Structure 1
Amino acid sequence: MLRYGIIGCGMMGQEHLRNIALLDGASVAAIFEPDPDMRAAAATLVPDAQMVGSVAEVLANPEVNALLIASPNHMHLGQLEQIAAIRPLPILCEKPLFTDPADAPRLARLRAAYPAPIWVAMEYRYMPPVAHFLQQAAAATGGVRMLTIREHRFPFLRKVGDWNRFNRNSGGTLVEKCCHFFDLMRLVAGCNPVRVMASGGQAVNHLDEVYDGQRSDIWDHAYVIVDFASGLRAMLELCMFAEGSRYQEEISATGPMGKIECLVPGPGRFWPAHLGAAPVPKVILSPRQPAGPVELDIPVDPALLAAGDHNGSTFYQHRGFQRMVAGEQTAEVGFEDGWWAAAIGMAAQQSAMTGEAVHLDRAPFTPA
């Protein structure tokens, strides 16, 4: 029986709770959530879980045999270190692993010493249309040479204490939001990036937002180009004032034999009801010979759609994590994957702020 201890149970933590409830052989034993409203919401979802007042109390619960960290970004690394010092258990840690480039040495020490597996939550890998895209990309393209990811979506949602309005807490938009996409790029490339160039900033959102006398500095749009060691080139286009779009994510991979595309709608709860049913995710294959696109619908189980905002991916991620804890597989998104995803985002933030390309072999915050 997988018995989770949950550290942080706000909006994303509660999505995890709803998906854990769909797993056979899994439940929640203990929850640490300091915000009273979020704690009450979590208690409604899992009334049998023990509500505790600290990370240490979660670890003291003898029933807990695995952990989920879904706290604000800037807390992740310190909580991982605390767990390592008290009772190392298998961990599913929400992205990003860290938010400050100067903390890379701490991350290296944790990687060297932590005795249990750490799985970094990269939900986008597990969205059914994206998973299908990943499975077919190499064959459909004859080897990916160009990869484009476009996300046109709604602005950042409100979080407890407005922590996600500031780069110092989130790591910046290109870390907080976009590490998912950099993980996908690296997965498709099958190698590490060598250079990052970016441009981004505030255009529409957050311009007049002030909290406790401090103006929000989180970005709402960007372009990022990533060059990989294999020669693959990848690009991200992010716009967070485009919630009127039919599809939220559009992913395209192209190679000598053709192109494959993936179209993913946003959360169903945001789809305008007067337009009828929300769009169905699609994968489109466009070979060069014979020319002509083939369009496939990739529907998602309605029960999984109802459990969260990530097209069912949170459930599939937990199912893999459950198999890992049972010793049936290794972490599919390991510590190194999570580190690289955050590091590419940090390089993109740096490039956009300085106007210069960042060479990752010289960057002190990349994995050694």
Structure 2
Amino acid sequence: MTRSINYGLIGCGMMGQEHLHNIALLEGTRVSAIFEPDPEMARAAKALAPDAAMVGSVQELLAVEDLDCLVIASPNHLHVDQICEVADTRPLPLLVEKPLFTDPADAARLEKVQRDYPCPIWVAMEYRYMPPITALIDKVEATGGVKMLSIREHRFPFLDKVGNWNRFNRNTGGTFVEKCCHFFDLMRLILGSDPVRITASGGQAVNHLDEAYDGEIPDILDHGYVIVDFASGGRAMLELCMFAEGSRYQEEISAVGPDAKIEALVPGPGRFWPDHLGEPPLPQVIVSPRNPKGPVTMDVPVDPTLLAAGDHNGSTFYQHKGFLAVVRGEKAQPDVSLQDGLWAVRMGHAAQQAIATGETVHLIA
């Protein structure tokens, strides 16, 4: 019989609770300890993992003997300090939520962790594991080599979070770091290359302008375009709108090469789909060859149990399945490395900088 793997969680707000739901779906797993300082979120986490010890700090969590791995799902601006605290105290296999960091000055601290950390670190890029996006990635060779990649996300505004931390750039790293590092990660993965140049335009047009916290109006952006040139010669574009939740699909991805175009259409969270419209749309993948012409549309249904376990189209389960295989030694290394996570944030920071200055940002590998 396979030995049970014991998890410790740092942060159990909305995303941390999604991790709890999905860990519970994996055979041979158990949540041993949780650190969540907000009383309301801690109560919700305890209801999901009643056997877990609720502790008062990262250090107290790391002192729990019965731990095999850790998940960090705290607010963005806390990630680096917590990763370094784990590294200095008790390194364990680690799944850390995106973005890895918010302040560009912290990249050097993470590069040191990358050199010295003795255990695997997996950066949580859930969008890689959404079944329709996985299907697009699996079929991307049919394009003959992607030359143009377009990612559109038309979605709902930022949700309410504990202490409203996600309303300010200083905590999130900026919208194009917080929200969009997923998409920059997908660009590098699909194009198989690193970015060299980023241009962007965006702003705050609609969302959160009527809100104030201690007299301060949120400064997070709610829409924009980003164009990325890659070392391979490929190009990618991101279109983000966070006041478009009326859309049928939340994400639309198009990869085009000399032989074909492949598209993935991903609906948003089912809990936001209006009942009067009936069943939510199914995810789809469309393959459109140039010769002979004739698009082929494939539905990509997702297990309802996985849909019910979170807001990411079942992807969090598949991500955890891979991470668990790494922890058990059944998989050699994480799919998403610390280097991947660093690149995704660098691209987000470059987009934020390009929007702020109106200038093209050049990236050096």
Contact kept? 1:99, 1:168, Cα under 8 Å: yes
Q: SS of 1:236's equivalent?
A: strand
Runs ≥4 residues deviating over 6 A: none
AA in 1 matched with 2:168: F
Matches within 5 A, 1:321-336: 321-329=323-331, 330-336=333-339
Q: What is residue 242 of structure 1 aligned with on the other side? A: 244
User: Residue deviations 1:299-355, cap 9 Å, x none?
Assistant: 000000000000000000000000001112110001100110111000000011000
In the alignment, what sits opposite 1:298? 300
**Aligned residue pairs: how many?**
361
- The alignment status of 1:62 with 2:53, answered yes or no, reads no
CA offsets per residue over residues 167-194 of structure 1, 9 Å max, x none? 0000000000000000000001111110
Give the equivalent residue in structure 1 for 2:185: 183
Residue in 1 aligned with 2:135? 132
Counterpart contact for 1:120–1:335, Cα < 8 Å: yes
User: What's 2:261 paired with?
Assistant: 259
Map 1:28-47 to 2 at 5 A: 28-47=31-50
Residue 27 (str. 1) matches residue 12 (str. 2): no
Indicate yes or no: 2:17 matched with 1:4.
Answer: no
* Distance across 2 between alignment mates of 1:258 and 1:86: 51
Deviates more, 1:205-214 or 1:235-244: 205-214
Q: CA separation in 2, counterparts of 1:2 and 1:136?
A: 34
Work out the CA distance in 2 between the residues paired with 1:122 and 1:3.
22
Amino acid at match of 1:88: P
CA distance in 2, matches of 1:292, 1:112: 49
- Report the Cα distance in structure 2 between the residues aligned to 1:108 and 1:333, rounded to whole angstroms: 15
SS at 1:214 equivalent: coil
Equivalent positions of 1:302-321 (< 5 A) are 302-321=304-323
In structure 1, C-alpha distance between the alignment counterparts of 2:107 and 2:311, rounded to whole Å? 31
Deviations 1:135-190 (A, max 9, x none): 10122x11100000000000000000000000000000000000000000000111
Q: Does 1:171 align with 2:173?
A: yes
In structure 1, the residue matched to 2:161 is 159
Query: What aligned pairs does 1:93-108 form with structure 2 within 5 A after superposition?
Result: 93-108=96-111
Mapped partners of 1:168, 1:177: distance in 2: 14
What is the match of residue 48 of structure 1? 51
Deviations 1:90-140 (A, max 9, x none): 00000011001121221222212211111000000000110000010122x
Matched to 2:150, the amino acid is T
Q: Match of 1:271, as an amino acid?
A: W
Distance across 2 between alignment mates of 1:325 and 1:345: 29
Query: What is the match of residue 109 of structure 1?
Result: 112
Residues 74-93 of structure 1 deviation map (CA, whole Å, 9 limit, x = unaligned):
00000001001110000000
1:21-76 per-residue CA deviation (whole Å, 9 max, x = no partner) reads 00001110000000000000000011000000000111111111100000000000
- Note if 1:359 corresponds to 2:362: yes
The structural deviation recorded for 1:209 is 1.7
What displacement does 1:215 show?
Answer: 1.4
Structure 1 residue aligned with 2:348: 345
Question: Which residue in 2 is equivalent to 1:232?
Answer: 234
Cα distance, 1:257 vs structure 2: 0.6
Deviation at 1:208, TM superposition (A): 2.1
In the other structure, the counterpart of 1:365 is none
* 1:82-93 pair list within 5 angstroms: 82-93=85-96
Partner-residue secondary structure (3-state), 2:133: helix
Match in the other structure for 1:121? 124
Does residue 75 of the first structure (1) align with residue 113 of the second (2)?
Answer: no
Task: Give the unaligned 5+ runs of structure 2.
Answer: none
Normalising by structure 1, report the TM-score: 0.97
SS at match of 1:203: coil
Q: Displacement, 1:201?
A: 1.1
How far apart are the structure 2 equivalents of 1:213 and 1:2?
A: 46
Whether the 8 Å contact between 1:58 and 1:64 is mirrored in structure 2 is no
Q: Give the 3-state SS of the residue equivalent to 2:137 in structure 1.
A: helix
Alpha-carbon distance between aligned partners in 2 of 1:60 and 1:202, rounded to the nearest angstrom: 44
> Which residue identity is paired with 1:287?
P
The answer for unaligned runs of 5 or more in structure 1 is 362-367
The AA in structure 1 aligned to 2:227 is I
